[in-house]
Structure 1
Amino acid sequence: MTNDIVALIEYYEKEKGIDRAKVVAALEFAFISAYRKMVPGAEAIETLRADVDTKKGETKIFASLNVVADGESADKFNDVPLAVAQKRNAGAQPGDVMEFNVTPKDFGRIAVQTAKQTMMQRLRQAEKEMIYEEFKDRAGDIVSGTVRRFERNDVMVDLGKFEGIMPNRERVQGEDYNIGDRIRAYVLAVENEGRGPEIILSRSHPNFVRRLFEAEVNEISDRTVEIRGIAREAGFRTKVAVWSNDPKVDPVGACVGMRGARVKNIVRELNNEKVDIIRWSEDPKEFVREALKPAELRSITVDTEAKIVHVTVDELDLSKAIGRKGQNARLSSRLMGWDVQVRRDESKEEQFKEKIGGAAHTLGEQLGITDELAEKLTFAGGFNPELIVDMPADYIAGALQISEDEAEAILVRARALVG
């Protein structure tokens, strides 16, 4: 055995964490493969065993042969005559199986290159098996690693003994990584396919946020507070619905932390992604009211069968309720599992128009003009004769789209009413 093979054993044992016995077993297999390739007729030998002495650096190959009566050998590669066997063991009898040292001269030195390649293949397979065994139960955990390299848009992450892959689809839009960056990620899956096991990582999955809350909030880890739902658009906004098993514990306050310390740590890990923490409720009306905050809802109508919630809001709150590109309403729908439909509350506007219409009709009768002109005059600020008399004739003419003479006539009638 040469020093490079010894170094290989040390490397795989210490750096890769593969058990020494497995490394030596791989080496033994490799030397047997090398023997079969090097020695004519060795392929026909059914049972071979390699004995590797890692201390002395010696390798021996043994063949298990069947003892047969002299002159009755039918297989020269797997049988040994009784006379030859009895020279090794006087008590040997036909039917016995005996091991014979069949190591060629200088075998270790000649075979080492052939054996090394085979050994590497076996050790790589052993490493893959170890990755799968260690990580198969870690799906759903958060791990830390270092960005090692990029393959197209996929990020390869060094996890110590192992390597994980964060596919482009699991990256967060807007997050950029450099080689050497330390990152945390969610173990989405450990897949054991033809290419060997792969550790699939994600930073965009909603459960990444769930695990961050579990790590940061003691009340969640001890199950006093439960996360009942998460809706996320990674890189932009996440809504988390929480509920407390203990009426004395405020679930939202527990997640926010003193002066917002807990949620700030999570937001920092998410690169300032907006996180809304919402009190969960069985009542759809109460739940949607919490989910659409800070918008104030004017009315809520629930269609239980179709699982649709209709809400109305004032004009000023419409953009808050819907959110940027519909994000707030969309995430609220996902969080609830209901279709949340947001509309502007038009009842006040209709009431205002009715009042304006009534006032304009009265004003028209007073000034002797049509309701249409009276309504235009009202919208221009002339709610009553007292206000109209202070308006210039050209302003009235422009607002009502009439001549200045007609506007002057309206002013005359308004002054007469005022006295």
Structure 2
Amino acid sequence: MNTEFLEALKDLEREKGISANVLLEAIEAALLSAYKRNFGSLQNAKVLLDRESGDCKVYAQRNVVEEVLDPRLEISLSEARAIDPLYNLGDVVETEVTPRNFGRIAAQTAKQVVVQRIREAERNIIYEQFANREGDIISGVVQRIEQKNAFIELGKTEAILTPAEQIPGETYAQGDRVKAYIVEVKKTTKGPQIFVSRTHPGLLKRLLELEVPELQEGVVELKSVAREAGYRSKIAVFSRDENVDPVGACVGPKGMRVQTIVNELHGEKLDIIKWDPEPSKFVASSLSPAKVVAVEIWEDEKVARVIVPDYQLSLAIGKEGQNARLAAKLTGWKIDIKSESQMAELYPDYKDLFAEEFIE
């Protein structure tokens, strides 16, 4: 090793942000391991790399003792003082033991260490870059499919879209461009692992923020999201400005904004409803597109009984209970749906009992 090597380390420090001193210390540690492996693992040794010249030297370290039991590790006081009269018991004597062909080993080892540290630094940079983006949306190209896992290229790294996080019915082919939600970024010995999702409710939220300027500006607030990926989703929105219609802002001119999101999610149905601080009105809206006659609320139990016209019962419940299930997720209320005829059987005079609960 020489001064050119040291200059190269300084260049790396400027380009990659890797400290030259950290690299030199790592090289010294690697050289010590190489020396012990090739020349003498039984003795205490130290490797020093000159920061000015690049010269590399190995020193054997021996403790100064009264009686020498192991000459590889110890030296007598008289022998130590023959080297330097200032040595005392307990001191450490360092003697140069640099092997003749150690320069070649040193050069190979240094190269391996530098390459490894550069790789580690690049991995750390990538990790930091994506660790700060957990909960964000990314766009990438499908690089390959392995055991139903889709690997999405993201510049110098890739993200993993597992089968559990794929929208039911979606298929992916090499070269497809997809958008996904960053669920987790893990640091591993082989570099960062980025796990993404196409089913997470956060994906829908981020897609809305991309398409609806009012959400980005904070004029419209997204209160809650309920999603069954690939089938149907419901979102509740609220406007801080009474002159802005939150539902209309999300739908967009001629439905263009919401249609862009539906296309990205390959036809997933999207119900956008207006959030209301009044629980009965919010619960009633959440069952859209079904029309609600009345809502009875039990605040303590967070239970709502919803009355719908007979012909709207199946629509309110939805296919396999999906509409009711999503409404419950969206509102945080347990919803019991009854038709008017069912209520009439249970309470013949229910219209008089619940007159105040009827939705205008």
What TM-score, normalized to structure 2?
0.74
Q: Post-superposition shift, 1:206?
A: 0.7
Whether the 8 Å contact between 1:214 and 1:220 is mirrored in structure 2 is yes
Q: Are residues 66 and 206 of structure 1, via their aligned partners in 2, closer, same or farther at CA, if it must alter by over 3 Å?
A: same
Deviation of 1:258 (Å): 2.5
Change (3 A) 1:25 1:94: closer
1:352-371 matches, cutoff 5 A: none
Cα distance per residue 1:122-158 (max 9 Å; x no partner): 6555555444444333221222333233342333333
* Structure 1 partner of 2:354: none
Answer whether contact 2:271 2:288 (CA < 8 A) is retained: no
- The within-5 A match list for 1:13-52 is 19=18, 21=20, 26-41=26-41, 44-50=43-49
Larger radius of gyration: 1
Asked if the contact 1:46/1:78 (under 8 Å) is kept, the reply is no
Q: Which has the higher contact order (CA 8 A, sep 6+)?
A: 2
Tell me how many residue pairs correspond in the alignment.
334
Counterpart for residue 269 of structure 2: 274
> Which one of the candidate residues 221, 224, 227 is aligned to 1:226?
221
Q: Secondary structure at the match of 2:186?
A: strand
Residue 183 of structure 2 aligns with which residue?
188
| 1:2-81 aligned within 5 A | 19=18, 21=20, 26-41=26-41, 44-50=43-49, 60-63=56-59, 76=72, 81=80
Other-structure match for 2:208: 213
Separation in 2 of the partners of 1:14 and 1:267?
A: 46
Aligned position for 1:165: 160
**Matched position secondary structure for 1:210:** helix
Cα offsets for 1:206-255 (capped at 9, x unmatched): 11111222233222223222111000011111111111222222211222
Label 1:300 to 1:193 Cα distance change in 2 as closer, same or farther (>3 A): same
Report the residue type matching 1:35 in the other structure.
Y
The aligned runs of 1:35-184 (5 Å cut-off) are: 35-41=35-41, 44-50=43-49, 60-63=56-59, 76=72, 81=80, 93-94=86-87, 102-110=97-105, 125-184=120-179
Mapped to 1, the partners of 2:192 and 2:186 lie a distance apart of 5
Matches of 1:236 and 1:19, distance apart in 2: 49
Is 1:304 matched with 2:303?
no
Mapped to 2, the partners of 1:44 and 1:200 lie a distance apart of: 48
Counterparts in 2 of 1:218 and 1:28: CA distance versus 1, 3 Å: farther
Contact 2:57–2:98 (Cα < 8 Å) also in 1: yes
1:324 corresponds to 2:323: no
When the two chains are superposed, the root-mean-square deviation of aligned CA atoms in Å is 4.2
Alpha-carbon distance in structure 2 between the residues aligned to 1:145 and 1:302:
46
SS in 2 for 1:138: coil
Structure 2, unaligned runs of 5 or more: 346-360
Structure 1 residue 332 displacement after superposition: 0.6
Between 32-41 and 122-131, report the one with greater CA deviation: 122-131
Unaligned segments of structure 1, at least 5 residues: 86-91, 351-419
Distance 1:205 1:77 in 2: 62
Cα 1:232–1:35 change in 2 (3 A) is same
1:103-132 superposed Cα distances (whole Å, 9 cap, x missing partner): 433434346666666666665555554444
**1:53-112 CA distances to partner (integer Å, 9 max, x unpaired)?**
9xx9x762443857979x999765687945557xxxxxx943788987654334343466
Equivalent residue number for residue 351 of structure 2 = none
Cα distance in 1 for partners of 2:213, 2:94 equals 64
CA distance in 2, matches of 1:185, 1:13: 35
Aligned residue type for 1:60: C
Closer, same or farther in 2 for the Cα pair 1:312/1:67, shift >3 Å?
Answer: closer
Secondary structure, aligned partner of 1:266? helix
Shift in alpha-carbon separation, 1:141–1:46, aligned structure 2, 3 A: farther
User: Comparing 95-104 with 149-158, which one deviates more in the overlay?
Assistant: 95-104
